[in-house]
Amino acid sequence: MSLRVVDPHSAPAHTGPAHQRNPGFPLDLDWVERVRMNRSALERRAATLPGRRTVKKDWQTAWLLKAITLIDLTTLNSDDTPGRVERLCAKARHPVRQDILEGLGVANLPIHPGAVCVYHAFVKTAVAALEGTGIPVAAVSTAFPHGLAPLNTRLMEIEASVRDGAQEIDIVIERQQVLNGDWQGLYDQIRAMRAACGDAHIKTILGTGELATLTNVAKASLVCMLAGADFIKTSTGKEKVNANLPTSLAMIRMIRWFHEETGIEIGYKPAGGIASAKLALDYMALMKEELGTGWLEPHLFRFGASSLLTDIERQLEHNLTGHYAADYRMPMV
């Protein structure tokens, strides 16, 4: 296997603004078939993380402020309205109360979430509400969350979201293609979706809780990366089982393997059920240990979350004052 386009030994693992986008590669079925994941080993490794890796005091504050910059601030409810999206965007503009930032001495830092994520119907609303901030809008497309509309319909939805100003597109794969081992079909669809995205970055949602095995999760991750995915993402947040550390470890190790073979850095986005500051720090520690500090940047790591910011803000106030505030003092929308 020889897919290398960048020598990782001649360039840093994190290249910042010069980060090279994944160009996509031919489908290598031999590579896909070699992929195996040991669930027991992954679960043991993940179980050791929370007890071994903790950050306290000023270090914790710094990590939590960094975590805010990695959040895709999200509203994906059936009762979403333009007003709710506008309020979410207002929160994205000012994610932490000013008095907390001033008390921590970081009021001048550019702290804002990695993106605001909405349904296609609200892309224009979000783009207008975020004008001038530099915060990108991400749209969930391709018949989210099931992904079972006709392919042409899904491609048209992607193109419509891009026209409306979305800079990132979160697509969902057809889980049946993974369960049936139809890797060529999955690859072809992701290639078509990547083309429809144009300059917008594509995050491929695997729906890991519905893929039966971690080997399936790992194989699907590889196929999506070969097809040109900029990010691989665990879940829609609508499945019974969403992001967890063992599944994340399987996907992260495929990202590492892909980087070793191609020199291309792929982003990772756990989504669904990540609501506490402590859990966010666990995921950040996992990324640091497995991929290095360079992956703890918004172009390579995001949380898909709607309530995580509230808990982080409460924890920051506790670090400042010694007291936890009530949730209503940090309203989201």
Supply the CATH number for residue 232's domain: 3.20.20.70
Decide if 333 is inside a domain. no
Instruction: Give yes or no for residue 18 having a pLDDT over 70.
Output: no
Q: Which of 170, 230, 282, 311 is catalytic?
A: 170
Round the average pLDDT of the chain to a whole number and report it: 92
Average pLDDT over residues 99-108: 95
Decide if 66 is inside a domain. yes
The closest of 254, 252, 255 to 264, measured between CA atoms, is 255
Q: How far apart are CA 173 and CA 154, in angstroms?
A: 11
- The amino acid at residue 245 is L
Q: How confident is the model at residue 326 (pLDDT cuts 50, 70, 90)?
A: confident
Decide if 17 is inside a domain. no
Which residues does 156 contact at the CB level (< 8 Å), separation at least 6? none
pLDDT of residue 83: 97
Instruction: Look up residue 19 and give its two tokens.
Output: 């980060």
Which segments of the chain does DSSP mark as H helices, in order? 29-34, 39-52, 57-68, 82-93, 98-104, 123-129, 151-163, 175-179, 183-197, 214-226, 245-262, 277-291, 308-321
The Cα-based distances of 65 to 58, 71, 182 in angstroms read 11, 11, 42
Instruction: Give yes or no for residue 14 having a pLDDT over 80.
Output: no
Q: How far apart are CA 48 and CA 190, in angstroms?
A: 35
Count of domains observed in the chain? 1
Decide if 13 is inside a domain. no
Q: Which residue has the tokens 């960094």?
A: 66
Range of the domain at 324: 24-46+56-328
Lowest mean pLDDT among 30-34, 97-101, 129-133, 322-326: 322-326
Residue 158, strand partner residues: none
Decide if 141 is inside a domain. yes
pLDDT tens, position by position, 134-149: 999 999 999 999 999 9
pLDDT higher at 22 or 57: 22
The CA R_g of the chain, rounded to the nearest whole Å, is 19
Assess whether 269 carries a catalytic annotation: yes
Q: Which of 124, 219, 269, 282 is catalytic?
A: 269
Instruction: Give yes or no for residue 2 having a pLDDT over 50.
Output: no
- The amino acid at residue 127 is V
Instruction: Look up residue 70 and give its two tokens.
Output: 């990695």
Decide if 110 is inside a domain. yes
Decide if 18 is inside a domain. no
The closest of 59, 105, 76 to 96, measured between CA atoms, is 105
Instruction: Look up residue 238 and give its two tokens.
Output: 């609508």
Q: How far apart are CA 28 and CA 119, in angstroms?
A: 33
Assess whether 170 carries a catalytic annotation: yes
Which backbone phi and psi does 2 adopt, to 5 degrees?
-145, 95
Decide if 108 is inside a domain. yes
pLDDT of residue 104: 95
Average pLDDT over residues 152-166: 98
Which residues does 235 contact at the CB level (< 8 Å), separation at least 6? 205, 206, 207, 208, 209, 241, 242, 243, 270, 271, 272, 304
pLDDT higher at 101 or 49: 101
Average pLDDT over residues 59-78: 96
Length of the chain measured in residues = 333
